[in-house]
Chains A and B, each alone.
Chain A
Amino acid sequence: MPAVPLLVLVTLPSALAVPCLFILSGPSAIVEALTLPGITKSLAVTLISATLGTGLATALSLALLASITGRSSRWLRLTMPPLLATPHAAMAVGLAFLVAPSGWFLRLISPWATGLERPPLWSVAQDPWGLSLAIGLALKELPFIILLAISATQRGHLEPSFRAALSLGYGRYTAFIKVIAPQLAPAMVLPVAIAFIYGLSAVDMGRVLGPTTPPPFAVLALSKLSDPSAQGWRLGLALSLHLAVITLFTLLAFTGLALAVRPGLRAWASNGQRRSVVGWILGPLAVLGRFAVLTSALALAGLVLWAFAQRWRFPAALPERWTGLDWVWARGLWSVESLNTLWLAFASSVLGLALALSFVLAERQARPSARASIGWTGAAVLPLLIPQMTLIPALLLLDLTVLGLSPWALALWGHVMFTAAYAYLSLRGAVMSLDPRYGKAALALGRPPWQALMLVELPVLLRPLMASVAIALSVSVAAYLPTLTLGQGRLETFTVEAVAAATGGSRRTAAQFALSQAFWALLFFFAALAVPDLAHRNRRGLAAHVA
């Protein structure tokens, strides 16, 4: 019974999205969409950038994790939250500014080293096959994968087995890939899949870093959706539908591939060889991973400078004139955007957490088999498994034709779908692996079940609960399509403004909104993580037990 709210509010509308789009676009548009000029190349760009981007992010994450296992990783823990909190669009603008012909890298060494008084003619961003988009996606997904993997490493007993492997003569990287990675894999499959699906439907990053002739598939779909003619609009719906089908097939293909190579990988992992080619590759990759983190940090630093730059022309290394500080209040912390961002984030996080918690408690109660638990997880994260370009227009159509909710309620609902899914994702492991004897002890002492839950189990779970609140808050703060489309343009939040400015081409405005947005997201992040430390300051055992 406690599973019902999430099933109704999150799973059901997601499941309705595809048939809903099928009916509204109609067979003729579905066929015609496949004959649009450049459609094949557009699809290729999307598949290349999403596959390469996710692959690169996963490889770099593994290499970085391998290089820090058993060592202090303070720098990684400190740099990941700001990078995760930075919206995709802002990161794209920052990266494009780094590598553009008139970008920061060249400005720093021009004209004294390069002799360039004007930007050169070559360009690396917006290449025709989406490689720069792939790198952008990889840099942005890296902190997401690493943070979820770190929370997995702390739970298990990974470090002793790593030390055992080292003492048995395995090299660091080979030990990691043969001993630790197989144990991490179950916890990493879902985040990697979600990152991949995100890459397939990335609109904000695709518009800044992707090529334009033709653009990536999701960008093409969005541009058709904003065609004034009715037929053009149906083509956009049809393209969204195709994107969902493509996503399903690529996921099936990758699952098949993974199942096919698994026996080989197992045999390889247990072949007893202490050194391996993979180990040789991971070392340099870890260096590359550090370079990637540094690049993201530089992109952020460039954004900060642009937020305060009035005039900054090539080849000046720093802005020539600065803006005042007035925007910090006017379009920053004391603005309509700020208010909307905050109430949406708080309301959707609380609701999302409540839905996810009651769902995961119901799942624990049901004690599903391994196969059935795939169904439970699938139901909870369904909104993340469908491209946003498919899900969001469908939800709006559903509302306009049947429900008739106000834009505010609809946008909140859209946010809750995503916060609930992410909260479930970050909460499930901790709840399922909680020692059942806490609850049993409380029951044995005569407490009713609800008191056993509220007074004993949830306080023990405070740290993972607050971590999922932090993630839910930052998900809501960054949500672009749900806010724009479901809010029907009436909800101005930092993300909406930042993406509008980024795609409108104004670096300064985009930077200002992105910084304001990152400010709240970061504040939530650190505040949520500080709560358990304060609450548990006299209970050292809790700090060590679940995190």
Chain B
Amino acid sequence: MLHGISASISKSAFAALALTMGVSGAVFAQDWEETVAAAAGQTVFFNAWGGDERINAYIAWAGDRVREDFGVTVQHVKLADTAEAVNRVRLEQQANKTTGGSIDLIWINGENFATMKSEGLLFGPWAEHLPAFAGVDVEGKPTTVLDFQTPTEGFEAPWGMAQFNVIVDGALAPDFPTALSDLTDWAAQNPGRFTYPQPPNFLGTTFLKQATLALSDNPNALYAPVDVADFAAVTAPVWAFLDQLHPNLWQRGQNFPVSGPAAQQLLSDAETAATLSFFPLEGPALVAAETFVEATVVQGFDGGSIGNTHFVAIPFNSSAAAGAQVFANFLMTPEAQIRKQSLAAWGDATVLDESRLSAAEQSALLEATNGLSVSVGSVLPEPHPSWTSALEAAWLQRYGS
């Protein structure tokens, strides 16, 4: 199975793969059978952010499918914040609970992954041994193996592709700008009609990163650890921008919605005219669900929009690591990925290489998204994870008190 993709992957990735493959390619196939056998009857506690009904419904569907096919039961533990799971695993590590942990699989990326990997809280490497990983587009979608500048090294399996975008009510705001530098003028003419979720909510934090990349004189500094940069100088234009923007935001910038869905509710109530999203198909999907009006449009940012990959990872003390791998493998299969990308389900873009799907699968994928694009222009890579908490802390210091 692995030979088929060797032509399409880059030389360095190929070298890495060939190394692992050459040593033990046959062993993996046998290992996988053992993994599947061990997984039967296991219950996987999947800790994943539970604030979105449509994502919850998708996870429930995927859980039903692996119960049918592999006898693996998936229980979705709905988190308010992924860091809750990180903290629990750390607590279990401190209490020397090296087996029988309470978490088997975590929906994760970025800073949380970097933290868990560096503190030795993860099981692995395992992800690149899964059969379905062979279909992942590691060359065309390099973030599937490079999570916010942290190499995944098989400690997490790619699940979906995200790209930052704006959902605009075209009737209320036909002229919503695509350049962030124009946003202050637009907000001055339309006071109270825009806001962003409060950092450290990931949408709010990504808005800060997007603004820093777009407005800073030295955006390249964001791709190295924050310690080596002159943080004040790099971020100065962002704070000037926000100082000007905030008085014209919803509730004059004195309060911010707590989450993406809370901000969506504001758009749906027509209190605001635009909201931020990480899934370019989320806007159309919510039009289909009659949450947003027909005139809704989705747009990216001039100069590119931040894109990343979200993953699933297994804690070091998982009590059902085999079941978790079987579930993670199913999540990467064409069946699960096509459904995930469909507007009727979630609208989250696939991590697979579409050109290597069968003709039937390709047309199913096109049909699932109604022919709409999963991209809003060029992709900006995520900054180094250390910028996340630095930007959040600086924001809280300035506007959070």
Stretch at the interface among A26-34, A83-91, A489-497: A489-497
Q: Which of A492-533 contact B (CB under 8 A)?
A: 492, 496-497, 500-501, 503-507, 509
Cβ contacts under 8 Å, B80 to chain A? 226, 500, 503-504
The answer to whether B261 touches A226 (Cβ under 8 A) is: no
The answer to whether B115 touches A214 (Cβ under 8 A) is: no
How far does the alpha carbon of A321 sit from the alpha carbon of B83 in the complex, in Å? 37
Contact of A505 among B45, B254, B263, B397 (CB under 8 A): B263
How far does the alpha carbon of A506 sit from the alpha carbon of B87 in the complex, in Å? 26
A-B contact count (CB 8 A): 139
The answer to whether B400 touches A213 (Cβ under 8 A) is: yes
* B256: Cβ under 8 A from any A Cβ: yes
Q: Which of A207-257 contact B (CB under 8 A)?
A: 207, 211-214, 223, 225-230, 233
Stretch at the interface among B209-217, B264-272, B309-317, B333-341: B264-272
Contact flags B111-138 to A (C-beta < 8 A → 1, else 0): 1100100010000000000000000000
* B192: Cβ under 8 A from any A Cβ: yes
Q: Which of B262-306 contact A (CB under 8 A)?
A: 262-266, 268-271, 290-291, 293
The answer to whether A506 touches B261 (Cβ under 8 A) is: yes
With known contacts A119-B271, A313-B268, A211–B87 Cβ distance under 8 A: no
With known contacts A488-B88, A500-B50, A506-B53, A313–B269 Cβ distance under 8 A: yes
B-side interface residues, number (CB < 8 Å): 61
Closest to A120 in B: B192
The answer to whether A490 touches B86 (Cβ under 8 A) is: no
Stretch at the interface among B33-41, B71-79, B349-357: B71-79
Within the complex, the shortest CB–CB distance from B163 to chain A, in Å, comes to 22
How far does the alpha carbon of A425 sit from the alpha carbon of B81 in the complex, in Å? 36
Cβ contacts under 8 Å, B263 to chain A? 505
* A199: Cβ under 8 A from any B Cβ: no
Cβ contacts under 8 Å, A311 to chain B? 290-291
Closest to B114 in A: A228
The answer to whether B254 touches A128 (Cβ under 8 A) is: yes
Q: Which of A329-349 contact B (CB under 8 A)?
A: none
Contact flags B86-113 to A (C-beta < 8 A → 1, else 0): 1110111001010000100000000110
Contact of B256 among A118, A213, A397, A500 (CB under 8 A): A213
The answer to whether A101 touches B262 (Cβ under 8 A) is: no
With known contacts A228-B87, A492-B78, A506–B115 Cβ distance under 8 A: no
* B189: Cβ under 8 A from any A Cβ: no
Cβ contacts under 8 Å, A39 to chain B? 401
The answer to whether A228 touches B251 (Cβ under 8 A) is: no
The answer to whether A37 touches B401 (Cβ under 8 A) is: yes
How far does the alpha carbon of A226 sit from the alpha carbon of B50 in the complex, in Å? 15
Contact of A212 among B172, B255, B270 (CB under 8 A): B255
* B152: Cβ under 8 A from any A Cβ: no
Cβ contacts under 8 Å, B271 to chain A? 100-102, 119, 314
The answer to whether B92 touches A400 (Cβ under 8 A) is: yes
The answer to whether A504 touches B83 (Cβ under 8 A) is: no
The answer to whether A504 touches B52 (Cβ under 8 A) is: yes
* B236: Cβ under 8 A from any A Cβ: no
Contact flags B21-55 to A (C-beta < 8 A → 1, else 0): 00000000000000000000000010100111100
Cβ contacts under 8 Å, A397 to chain B? 91
A-side interface residues, number (CB < 8 Å): 51
The answer to whether B290 touches A213 (Cβ under 8 A) is: no
How far does the alpha carbon of A313 sit from the alpha carbon of B271 in the complex, in Å? 10
The answer to whether A126 touches B251 (Cβ under 8 A) is: yes
The answer to whether B77 touches A489 (Cβ under 8 A) is: yes
Cβ contacts under 8 Å, B119 to chain A? 230
Contact of B53 among A118, A128, A407, A509 (CB under 8 A): A509
Interface centre among B79, B86, B255, B290 (most CB of A within 10 A): B255
The answer to whether B270 touches A490 (Cβ under 8 A) is: no
Cβ contacts under 8 Å, A163 to chain B? none
Contact of A102 among B77, B270, B401 (CB under 8 A): B270
* A401: Cβ under 8 A from any B Cβ: yes
Contact of B400 among A214, A489, A504 (CB under 8 A): A214
* A161: Cβ under 8 A from any B Cβ: no
Cβ contacts under 8 Å, B78 to chain A? 489, 492, 496-497, 500
Within the complex, the shortest CB–CB distance from A318 to chain B, in Å, comes to 15
Contact of B262 among A41, A211, A504 (CB under 8 A): A504
How far does the alpha carbon of A299 sit from the alpha carbon of B75 in the complex, in Å? 33
Within the complex, the shortest CB–CB distance from B390 to chain A, in Å, comes to 12
The answer to whether B265 touches A38 (Cβ under 8 A) is: no
The answer to whether A506 touches B45 (Cβ under 8 A) is: no
The answer to whether A505 touches B87 (Cβ under 8 A) is: no
The answer to whether B400 touches A38 (Cβ under 8 A) is: yes
Cβ contacts under 8 Å, B81 to chain A? 226
With known contacts A214-B401, A500-B78, A314–B270 Cβ distance under 8 A: yes
Cβ contacts under 8 Å, A213 to chain B? 198, 254-256, 399-401
Within the complex, the shortest CB–CB distance from A537 to chain B, in Å, comes to 46
Contact of B87 among A207, A233, A314, A500 (CB under 8 A): A233
How far does the alpha carbon of A489 sit from the alpha carbon of B103 in the complex, in Å? 10
Closest to A504 in B: B51
The answer to whether B192 touches A121 (Cβ under 8 A) is: yes
* B396: Cβ under 8 A from any A Cβ: yes
Cβ contacts under 8 Å, B191 to chain A? 121
* A79: Cβ under 8 A from any B Cβ: no
Contact of B75 among A226, A227, A490, A504 (CB under 8 A): A490
* B367: Cβ under 8 A from any A Cβ: no
Cβ contacts under 8 Å, B293 to chain A? 313
Within the complex, the shortest CB–CB distance from A264 to chain B, in Å, comes to 40
* B206: Cβ under 8 A from any A Cβ: no
The answer to whether A505 touches B401 (Cβ under 8 A) is: no
* A123: Cβ under 8 A from any B Cβ: yes
* A373: Cβ under 8 A from any B Cβ: no
A-B contact pairs, 12 of them (CB 8 A): A38-B396, A119-B269, A213-B255, A213-B400, A228-B111, A397-B91, A401-B95, A501-B51, A504-B80, A505-B51, A506-B265, A509-B53
Closest 8 CB pairs of A and B: A38-B401, A505-B262, A504-B51, A102-B269, A489-B77, A505-B261, A121-B192, A228-B83
Which residues of A come within 8 Å of B, CB atoms? 37-39, 41-42, 100-102, 118-119, 121, 123, 126, 128, 207, 211-214, 223, 225-230, 233, 310-311, 313-314, 321, 396-397, 400-401, 407, 488-490, 492, 496-497, 500-501, 503-507, 509
Given A37-B400, A227-B87, 7 other A-B residues pairs in contact with their CB atoms under 8 A: A213-B255, A213-B399, A229-B389, A490-B77, A500-B80, A504-B259, A505-B262
